Structure 1
Amino acid sequence: MTAPHRLRADAARNRANILRAARTLFAARGEGAGIDEIAREAGVAVGTLYRHFPTKADLVQAIVGDLVHRIFTALDEAVARIDAGGSAFAELALLAGRISEAAGTDRTVRTAIGPLGMRADQELARRGGSLLSRIVAAGHAEGSLHRDVTAADLMLALGNLPGDDLPEAARRRWVQLVLRGLAADPARVSGAVAVHA
């Protein structure tokens, strides 16, 4: 009776090691990291990796799915703070800055942003669009977002954040320029970015 339990524990440990190794390698090199290399980094045989993730796409989906969950958690938290009286523009600046910072160290972040926009399945697209629409509505109500800004504009902006192809200072500047384009009063942007940089 104890042997099957031990195998399940070993399998869970192997899966966790595979995911850890894949996160590390995908973050550093993107989806080009090889299965053999991931298995070696995880300390498992390639066959063991394939038992848990039959294709590389399955492994990528597991990694990206975790990032998508974290992005939606950040959106939920931003909307909750806005609902509690926080500034929509400050929350948008914080969100863009955090995603840009993460994209600078993790090449899978930009892949994970896709579920907010055109590459999403319908359920994720609806959820992302709904949360971004609430941020936009609050920004319009407080007068901080330009009147013609839409949730689709935010999806476009967040989905095209630069990654590790730009140095940190250039990524921050990119965020600041995008926020100026979205702001009803571009003079407010420097303060919002400075607070959350």
Structure 2
Amino acid sequence: MTTERLVRADAARNRERILDTARAQITARGPDASIDEIAEAAGVAVGTLYRHFPTKTYLVAAVVGEQIEKLAALIERSLARVESGAAEADHELLQLLRTVLDGAANNRALRAAALTLPAAPGAAPTTPTAPTTPAAPTTPTTPATPAAPEPPAGRREPAYSQPAMRAFAALDQLIQAGHTASRLRPGLTANDVVLLACTGPFDHPAEARERWLELLRPGLLTQGERSSSEMGA
């Protein structure tokens, strides 16, 4: 193995170690996890961390991006089931909302960190209150810690942008399929569902979250599906 390959392999290991540590710290503490603490726990210098993630926002975005990748894949699988005729769009949409609601309720620290991020370009915001401009770089206050560099050209798009757009596109197609099959309320949009998903009762017990979904159901379904649900209740 050449020296250049060894350097690249070492850099890749450092990046993975930083991400693993950041994931654990952010999951435990949310946005309060500091760059200094993450670097120390990962066993790397702060400067090394900044070479991989120019600001704290980029690091948080990488961690959140992993979760959005999973969400995008989940929605795409739901869409595939609907398109194949194996499931109905209304059932899949309600199950997706349940999954998102339970996931956010079980990981409040990560949700709090996600709320500090700017909205992904070209997609619906991750939360109604998310800032629309990138957060200011987190610069350490101790003299021994190097200042965060400016993000280099080509790295200004947050890590979660592409998966967020994938998730939104798949959600939009799922809702369109529901309209075509007359399973979902006319006029319902992906933006509506994102807004609902971002304002759910995350901090309430599971029983309250399930009740919220039951109350939400009539507003998502067509009149015919609402009647069927009520008859089957």
Q: For the superposition of Structure 1 and Structure 2, which TM-score range results when normalised by the shorter chain?
A: 0.7 to 0.9
Q: Percent identity?
A: 39
| Residue of structure 2 in register with 1:87 after alignment | 88
| Residue of structure 1 in register with 2:129 after alignment | none
Residues paired across the two proteins, number: 190
Equivalences for residues 90-129 of structure 1 within 5 A: 90-106=91-107, 107-109=109-111, 111=114, 115=120, 116-118=123-125, 128-129=167-168
- Compute the displacement of 1:14 (Å): 1.4
Judge which range, 31-40 or 173-182, deviates more: 173-182
Mark the CA change 1:103 to 1:2 in structure 2 (over 3 Å): closer, same or farther: same
Judge which range, 45-54 or 174-183, deviates more: 174-183
TM-score, L = length of structure 2: 0.67
- Compute the displacement of 1:22 (Å): 1.1
| Cα distance per residue 1:12-52 (max 9 Å; x no partner) | 11111111111122223222211122123322232221222
Mark the CA change 1:91 to 1:12 in structure 2 (over 3 Å): closer, same or farther: same
TM-score, L = length of structure 1: 0.77
Q: Name the larger-Rg structure.
A: 2
Mark the CA change 1:53 to 1:12 in structure 2 (over 3 Å): closer, same or farther: same
- Partner Cα distance (2:42, 2:210) in 1: 34
Structure with a larger share of its residues in helix: 1
- Structure 1 unaligned regions, length at least 5: 192-197
Are the counterparts in 1 of residues 76 and 167 from structure 2 also a CA contact under 8 Å? Answer: no
Bigger relative contact order (CA 8 A; separation at least 6): 2
- Compute the displacement of 1:138 (Å): 2.6
- Structure 2 unaligned regions, length at least 5: 127-131, 133-156
The yes-or-no answer on 1:169 pairing with 2:170 is no
| Residue of structure 2 in register with 1:22 after alignment | 22
Q: Which residue of 172, 190, 195 corresponds with 1:151?
A: 190
Are the counterparts in 1 of residues 26 and 33 from structure 2 also a CA contact under 8 Å? Answer: yes
- Compute the displacement of 1:109 (Å): 4.7
| Residue of structure 2 in register with 1:47 after alignment | 47
| Residue of structure 2 in register with 1:195 after alignment | none
Mark the CA change 1:11 to 1:92 in structure 2 (over 3 Å): closer, same or farther: same
Are the counterparts in 2 of residues 103 and 161 from structure 1 also a CA contact under 8 Å? Answer: no
Q: 3-state DSSP class of the match of 1:108?
A: helix
The yes-or-no answer on 1:181 pairing with 2:183 is no
Q: 3-state DSSP class of the match of 2:100?
A: helix
